[in-house]
Structures are given as structure tokens and as C-alpha cells.
Amino acid sequence: MSLAETATSVNGAFDSIPVIDIGRASTPEERAALARQIRDACVKVGFFYISNHGIPQEIIDAVFSAMKAYFSLPLETKMKLYHREGANYRGYAPVSDANFSAESRGDLFEGFVIGWEGLIPKEDEDKKVDDDATAIPNLWPSEPAGFREAFLNYYHATVGVRNALYRLFALALDLPETYFGDNNLPTMRSHYYPPQTGPEDDRIIGINAHSDFECFTILWQEPGIQALQVLNSDKQWINAPPITGTLVINIGDLLARWTNDVFRSTVHRVINKSGIPRYSIATFIGVDPHVEVEPLPSCVSPERPPKYGPILAGDHVRKRLKETYHRNVTLDKQIPGF
């Protein structure tokens, strides 16, 4: 059965999210087997957990500690790096700064956003990373100590996860393993969610119902706190609790568009009803901004014609950024990522 035919016959009324162990992928046979599991998860759910992802626990512990220390600083200190002071969406975002749903009153979280940067600072940090994309400078706080190192160590660790997953996504779509390449600059956003005290149907919650707009997201969740929920085709919210030793992967709108919606970009939200603060880190994975995205031939059939026309990946990201932050800005320098 073709990819297009498979998607047409799938029932999206899932009641749980699969866990996939990606630790054994050294042979073509092992990668093919993993690709089949990932294809099934992406077609039916659009979300899955990965275990044995390769990020050392000490790297996760360090970025978690740095994140908690930073978000505990006074608001006036954090606002010195307010991301809207520039056009690059790097730095600090206060509560209700973002609005991921047109029907909401804002989202109940603080964030800190970084993009690509080498682990070792260089004098020419604004150099070109390659022939097509230019790195955007990050904004770094003077406190807490070790913040930059902790964030970049985790960021670069997720780049390794990105590379592994892109190869598996390609195989899942009957493409060469190197189809998606590695010429893209992920964006990473850490989150602090204060406890939510209002009703779940209030128009301000942790993050309102939305879909992500890059190709896919790598999410770390603080252990022991349920907050993430995923919407199935029966309009039921399915909990996606933290599972020890795993990361959550979800398909974004750009990859759904690329696959003609064969891979699902599933709506999700965050509601922190735990009564205590909750933290998470999302790394948003895209492609080179100059790549033209249109439905893959394997995802198109007479019964499933193309749903989308071609679009440059960078144009797609700029459009979604403007929708999220409700302002008219020039985002030409923002092409490489979120």
C-alpha cells in the first residue's frame, strides 16, 4: 500500500502515544525497522516518544538547573534581554508575550529562545554558517553563571538527535536517507509555566491549542508533571505525560505540508494544573530556508491530489511568526529559523 493510500485508511482516534527505542540503528535493517515504526506513528498520531536518544543525563540536568535559576530572576532583570527589542526572536519572552491561538488572550509561560552558535565563542560569530544561511547572534544573560554553556551543550546534543531522526523520516517516506540533509539551524525555546489556577476552558492557559510550524519538534519535559495534551480525531484530549528517559517528538506543519498531510501535524496544548512550576525545552527543527516545499510524489495519488502549492521554507516560517506575535515586522534576517 502506498503512503497516500495508507493515510486515507487511517483512523486518527488514538488514545495513547507510542514509544520508539531508537538506540539500535547501526545497520540498514535496523534503520528500516525503526522507519516503519516512525511512519506508523506519524500517520496515525503525529506524536511519539523516543528512548535511548543519546543525550547524556548530565547535560539535561545542567540545562534544567540553569533554566530554573534564570526564570527565578526578577522580571526587570530578564526584560533586559526582551526578544522584541530586535527582529531576531532571540532572548526572553514574558508571560502572555506569545499567542498561539487566535481565540486566546495570550499564553501563560515565560520563554528564552536561542539559535545556532558554536560551543566555543569566535570573533566572527556573525559569519556565514554555509553558503545560504547566516547565523543570528544569541542574547546571553550575565547570570546565572554557566547559563550559556548549559544551553548550548543541550542545543548541540539535540542537533545529533535531529540528524538521526531526519534519516529515519526519509526512510519512512521511501526517500534516500540523506534527503533532508543537515543544512538547517534549529531554534530552541525553554519554557517556565507557572501553575494555572483558572478553568481549562479559560482563554489563557499554558500554551493554547496549536500546531508547531517547522518540520518537527524535539521536546524535553520536566519529570513527574503532567501538562501536555494532544488532540485526536474524535476531539478528545489525550495526555502525553513525561516518561523517564524519553523525549517527545511531534510533526510540524511544514513536514505535514511536505507529505500532503500523510504525516499529521497534530494540535496540542499545555495546561499546568499541578500546583507547582513546570519546565520544558522545545527544539524546533526545520530545513534550509531556501528549500522549496511541495507535496512529495509518494504522498500524492489520484484519490489524494496535492493539497498545497510550493512555498519556500523561510517564507512559511516568517508567515507563522507574524501570526504568533501579532505584529508587523521585517523578518528578512530571521530566515534561518524560529
Count of alpha carbons within 13 angstroms of residue 11, beta-carbon side = 4
CA dihedral sign, ordered 25, 30, 34, 39: positive
- For residues 310 and 291, give the distance between their C-alpha atoms in angstroms, rounded to a whole number: 10
| pLDDT for the residue 331 | 36
Please check whether residue 89 is in contact with residue 57, taking contact to mean a CB–CB distance below 8 angstroms. Answer: no
**The overall pTM is greater than 0.85:** yes
Q: CA dihedral defined by 127, 129, 134, 135, rounded to 10 degrees? A: -80
Q: What is the DSSP string of 242-299?
A: --TTEEEEEE-HHHHHHTTTSS----EEE---SSS-EEEEEEEE---TT-EE---GGG
- For residues 86 and 137, give the distance between their C-alpha atoms in angstroms, rounded to a whole number: 11
26 Cβ neighbours under 8 A, 6+ residues apart: none
* Residue at 233: amino acid letter: S
| pLDDT for the residue 131 | 35
Ranges of residues in the chain with a pLDDT under 70 are 1, 84-88, 97-106, 121-135, 198-205, 324-338
CA distance between the termini of the chain: 36
Stated length of the chain:
338
- For residues 156 and 63, give the distance between their C-alpha atoms in angstroms, rounded to a whole number: 12
| pLDDT for the residue 120 | 83
3-state secondary structure of 58: helix
18-42: per-residue pLDDT in tens? Answer: 999 999 999 999 999 999 999 999 9
Which residues, in sequence order, are bridge partners of residue 268? 210, 230
Please check whether residue 312 is in contact with residue 289, taking contact to mean a CB–CB distance below 8 angstroms. Answer: yes
Count of alpha carbons within 13 angstroms of residue 126, beta-carbon side = 3
Cell of 98: 506569545
Long-range pairs for 21-30: beta carbons < 8 A, 24 or more residues apart? 21/50, 21/51, 21/52, 22/50, 22/51, 22/52, 22/53, 22/164, 22/165, 22/168, 23/51, 23/52, 23/53, 23/54, 24/52, 25/164, 25/168
